[in-house]
Amino acid sequence: MNLRYFYISFLILFAFSQLQIVSAQNVQIIGKVLEETSKQPIAYATVVLFDSTTGNTIKGVITADDGSFKIDTEIKQFYLQISFMGFVSKTIKEINPERRKINLGTIILKENTQQLEEVLVQAEVSSSQFKLDKRVFNVGKDLSSTGASALEVLNNVPSVNVDIEGTISLRGSSGVQVLINGKPSILTDDGGALGSITADMIDRIEIITNPSAKYDAEGTSGIINIVIKKDERKGINGAFSLNAGIPDNNSIGISLNRRSEKFNLFTQMGLGRRVYPRDSENINEDLETGTSIVSEGRDLRAEKFYNITLGTDYYISTNSVLTLSGNFAYEIEDQPSDINFKSLDASSNVTSEWERTETTEATNPKWQYELVYKHDFEDHEDHDLLLSATGRSFSKDLTSLFQDTTISGTDRDNTQNTRTDYGSNNYTFKLDYTKPFSEIWILETGAQYQIDDIGNDFEVQDLVDGEFVTDLGLANNFQFDQKVLGAYVIGGYECENWGLKAGLRLEQTDLETTLVTTNVSNTQSYTNLFPSVHSSYKLSDAVSLQAGYSARINRPGMRELNPFFNIRNNFNIRQGNPNLMPEFTDSYELTSIFDIGKTSLNFGVYHRYTTDVIERISVFENNVNTSMPENVGTNSTLGIEFNTKYSPARWLTFNVDFNYNQFDRKGTFESAVFDFNGDQWSSKLMAKFDLPANIDLEAVGNHRSKVKTVQGISSANTFLDVGIRKKILKDKGVINLSVRDVFKSRFSESFISQGNSEAYSWSRRGRFVAIGFSYGFGKGEAMEYSGGKRR
């Protein structure tokens, strides 16, 4: 605990010390750019400062998502020019340079109708942008994501890794919260459900490694926010995409938008079919007897998906907007598997062999609906109030038939049937209020109430004398009821080159789980404080520093708490633990950002200290490996992160992402001591080539190192994705081709040792090839475009 206060004190002292060295010579100009008709902010507009004497360019910046900008200069004679595609540029010359801070207020740009009708310009934005508390990754630059799902796109984002089972990790830690448009979504509750979100639908992905107190404290390693496209240009605009792939990866999507003076109507629709094959091998060995069970097989996840989003923005007045939106997704799953089992004696001779086949069918309807009200007060551009209510509903009706057929040796003939009736209802209510008291002081406050009501009715039946009989030891109805009430307050101070934000979040959690059949309940109630501190200092136009601290929590979810399991491989069983407690993390980081000519470079140092760490512990009995999550001690992680973008030529760009950390584990479980240390690293290298004839080529290489785990080792692996893109039809159409895992070298391999038993596990998805076409109509652009608002 003393370490937390030391780091917080250090950050505050570091921040306030910068007040003494802020240059008194600089002049800072701020303002906000809006479009004339709708008074909506214009993001990514260009703001350029010119020398009044020579006419030369001094410097330039682009506007933020809310249309605001900030630019500094030591020159005393200057003027400003603001421009954006499709709008008439504006020049401002009447500026008083004697003031150290000049607020130009709201700047209105008029739409250039003639330019929009005659010329389509493809805007270019950086693939990765740094802000005070997050990094923004623009999906439009990721060619190898053609036909991909959100999970596959995430795997190309710096600092993010997604294994072949769909587990998402950030900086090597899986304690990450995934949001859609800044809010929890039913599509993120199940990793496979993100498959219904295609790359065409994603505008950008925000990586928040140290969230402020404004955000829900869930997620010990941070937050990943997937922002879905929503066009706001006047008139009727749209785009559609068509994708096909091997193995089956076929989808079609359409995006439509109609904007008038009072309404902005938007919709996105998609449907398709995806197949995810997997080859796997498992070996469980009893070292004392020398016997082992070897299983090899192939399983398939084939899903048809339908997804539709409908919504409208209603502009009540110039300063108030009401948004109503809804999303419906429906999946039809078919999950066959065929696994060959062999029982070996101490001399590796086969004593028995049998085959286990599975036929699984499931339907998954998912609903989400949201009502949002936002009011911008006239006294200040950042003075606003936001109210939102979100509802989510997900159900799964799943049936499986398992058949064991003896090939040789001991009679293993058996038939089993399982049934799962799953239902989840979630409700979130939020209030956020921002009040600036001056140009340098700002207050943010708000509250959130979240309700999670989940039920899972699971039943296993064995075929006995021609009739299915329920196995009472493997059947139960598990109920999960969690309520979290949170409130936060943040104070911010920003002067010229330096800024500081400090906040505190209070959360009250009430959780009750019940095993209905056995009438066993577990109740938890706890209150926690989550402080956060963020600071940034601009040393020069080329060098900036950012520092941050936040406290986080990882509450066990339904999968970690539910004790019942899938019996696909009944020698490798994964189940939950209803007595699991949440884990808590203190996270610190310091990042330096360099912008030098053609190169941008970011180097960061981070530290995480986690208590009540949740780990899966394997227990072996009769060559059956049963893994269950447990709270096992503490983990201290110290790491470095390096990102750079370099363009040695106009036609060639490199992006490099490197992450390395060392960790020290302390803990015991029952009589076993789990004290150990180790390290791990991952890297990504992307090379993008702009070729003649409007052709772009991209290659993305990934490497993940070997890493020591609580009971064993996970192996290293390296894999490559490539993509090529050709613009056609006056740049309104785009053809994409991508190959993911070119050499089929992406796999998951682990070794586990416990007492007198060992387990080996290996699996691989294989190569995926996809080709896609997208086309923009009206004032729309092909759906490969992404990054910032477009008008």
pLDDT at res. 146: 47
Euclidean distance between CA atoms 449 and 447, whole angstroms? 7
Reference 547, options 160, 14, 1, 6; nearest CA is 14
pLDDT(506) > 50 = yes
Neighbouring-strand partners of residue 422: 396, 456
Could you read off the pLDDT of 528-568 as tens digits, one per residue? 999 999 998 888 878 888 899 999 999 998 888 988 777 88
Structure tokens that stand for 263 in this block: 């309404």
| Confidence label for 313 from pLDDT (cuts 50, 70 and 90) | confident
Cβ–Cβ under 8 Å, residues 144 and 721: yes
pLDDT(393) > 50 = yes
Instruction: Tell me the Cα Rg of the chain.
Output: 28
Helix (H) / strand (E) containing 153: helix 150-154
Reference 289, options 352, 347, 351, 341; nearest CA is 347
Helix (H) / strand (E) containing 82: strand 78-83
Cβ–Cβ under 8 Å, residues 351 and 341: no
pLDDT at res. 152: 66
Which residues lie below 8 Å from residue 540, measured CB to CB, with a gap of 6+?
Answer: none
Which residues lie below 8 Å from residue 725, measured CB to CB, with a gap of 6+?
Answer: 143, 146, 695, 696, 697, 698, 734, 735, 736, 737, 784
pLDDT(13) > 50 = no
Reference 461, options 426, 421, 417, 505; nearest CA is 417
Question: For the chain, what is the mean pLDDT?
Answer: 83
Asked which of 223-227, 431-435, 524-528, 570-574 is least confident by mean pLDDT, the reply is 223-227
Asked which of 241-250, 259-268, 321-330 is least confident by mean pLDDT, the reply is 259-268
Could you read off the pLDDT of 663-704 as tens digits, one per residue? 999 998 877 888 999 999 999 898 888 888 888 888 989 999
Residue ranges of domains in the chain, CATH in brackets: 2-118 (2.60.40.10), 235-778 (2.40.170.20)
Structure tokens that stand for 175 in this block: 């304690």
pLDDT(782) > 60 = no
Could you read off the pLDDT of 452-499 as tens digits, one per residue? 999 999 999 999 988 999 988 888 899 999 999 999 999 998 887 888
**Mean pLDDT across 331-360:** 95
Structure tokens that stand for 412 in this block: 């293993």
For residue 41, cis peptide bond before it (omega within 30 degrees of 0): no
pLDDT at res. 141: 44
Asked which of 227-241, 693-707, 714-728 is least confident by mean pLDDT, the reply is 227-241
Could you read off the pLDDT of 598-647 as tens digits, one per residue? 677 889 999 999 999 999 999 999 899 999 999 999 999 999 999 887 88
Neighbouring-strand partners of residue 207: 135, 224
